A and B are shown apart, each in its own frame.
Chain A
Amino acid sequence: EAQVTQNPRYLITVTGKKLTVTCSQNMNHEYMSWYRQDPGLGLRQIYYSMNVEVTDKGDVPEGYKVSRKEKRNFPLILESPSPNQTSLYFCASSLGGPWLNTEAFFGQGTRLTVV
């Protein structure tokens, strides 16, 4: 089954404790991205990657890092989480970038709470 898998689904952590949210897709997609969803703000793009070893900032990259060492995985790293990073996070993948009209497939989401 074609899917995008994020882990964990729920996470409560303390300020400053490094964490990683994993994202994996099994569709051989080149384009992957991370979004955060906040009430009244919709989805905002954090980082995206057009291919292995190619990553770029989205609209809200501060406080986040990503890596794309292999095609299927695109982890999101919070080196020193802060309470303003409490949010619902989505990973998405697509065959090509948004300008090519390829459908984006989304993971189930990770609800992160930073206390």
Chain B
Amino acid sequence: GEDVEQSLFLSVREGDSSVINCTYTDSSSTYLYWYKQEPGAGLQLLTYIFSNMDMKQDQRLTVLLNKKDKHLSLRIADTQTGDSAIYFCAESNNQGGKLIFGQGTELSVKP
């Protein structure tokens, strides 16, 4: 079945760049998403990328997609303490109504 994998923790210093990685197994993925979950809250969509793209930039966020290796990454430039949260990647395809999430990466930003 479909599977999405992420490392569980990442710690960076304020002002550095953060790179959160994700791998997936479903070759028919249509869209890949990044969601952010702040403490005690639900998830909020950060950005997404269509499977025929290899890069998308949105202010401090850069999404890179390597479709051949089924690898997705989210780069946050100039990371701030307010970026501390859990980041989930998720994928969807045309074959059903599911959104498949990874385990989430907890980003800790130290001053």
Q: Are B48 and A31 in contact, CB atoms less than 8 angstroms apart?
A: no
**Would you call A59 an interface residue if the criterion is a C-beta within 8 Å of the partner chain's C-beta atoms?**
yes
Q: Are B98 and A41 in contact, CB atoms less than 8 angstroms apart?
A: no
B residues at A contact (CB < 8 Å): 4, 6, 8, 30-31, 35, 40-45, 48, 50, 88, 90, 92-104
Interface residues of A in 56-115 (CB under 8 A from B): 56, 58-59, 90, 92, 97-99, 101, 103-104, 106-109
Q: Which single residue of chain A is at the shortest CB-CB distance from B98?
A: A45
Given contacts A106-B43, A108-B41, contact A99 B101 (CB under 8 A): no
Please list 20 pairs of residues, one from A and one from B, whose beta carbons are closer than 8 Å in the complex, sorted by A's number. Answer: A4-B42, A35-B101, A40-B103, A42-B4, A42-B6, A42-B88, A42-B104, A44-B101, A90-B42, A90-B43, A92-B42, A97-B92, A98-B31, A98-B98, A99-B95, A99-B96, A101-B48, A101-B50, A104-B99, A109-B41
Number of A-B contacts defined by CB within 8 Å: 70
Q: Are A42 and B30 in contact, CB atoms less than 8 angstroms apart?
A: no
A residues at B contact (CB < 8 Å): 4, 31, 33, 35, 40-45, 48, 50, 56, 58-59, 90, 92, 97-99, 101, 103-104, 106-109
Q: Are A101 and B98 in contact, CB atoms less than 8 angstroms apart?
A: no
Of B4, B92, B99, chain A has the most CB atoms within 10 Å of the CB of B99
Q: Are A103 and B8 in contact, CB atoms less than 8 angstroms apart?
A: no
Which one of B48, B94, B102 lies within 8 Å of A42 (CB-CB)? B102
A41 to B45, CA, bound (A): 19
A33 to B98, CA, bound (A): 9
A50 to B93, CA, bound (A): 15
Q: Which residues of the partner chain A approach B104 to less than 8 Å between Cβ atoms?
A: 42-43
Given contacts A48-B98, A106-B42, A107-B42, contact A101 B31 (CB under 8 A): yes
Q: Are B93 and A42 in contact, CB atoms less than 8 angstroms apart?
A: no
Q: Which single residue of chain B is at the shortest CB-CB distance from A55?
A: B97
Q: Which residues of the partner chain A approach B93 to less than 8 Å between Cβ atoms?
A: 99
Q: Are B98 and A42 in contact, CB atoms less than 8 angstroms apart?
A: no
Q: Are B45 and A98 in contact, CB atoms less than 8 angstroms apart?
A: no
| CB of A45, distance to nearest CB on chain B (Å) | 6
Q: Which residues of the partner chain B approach A44 to less than 8 Å between Cβ atoms?
A: 101
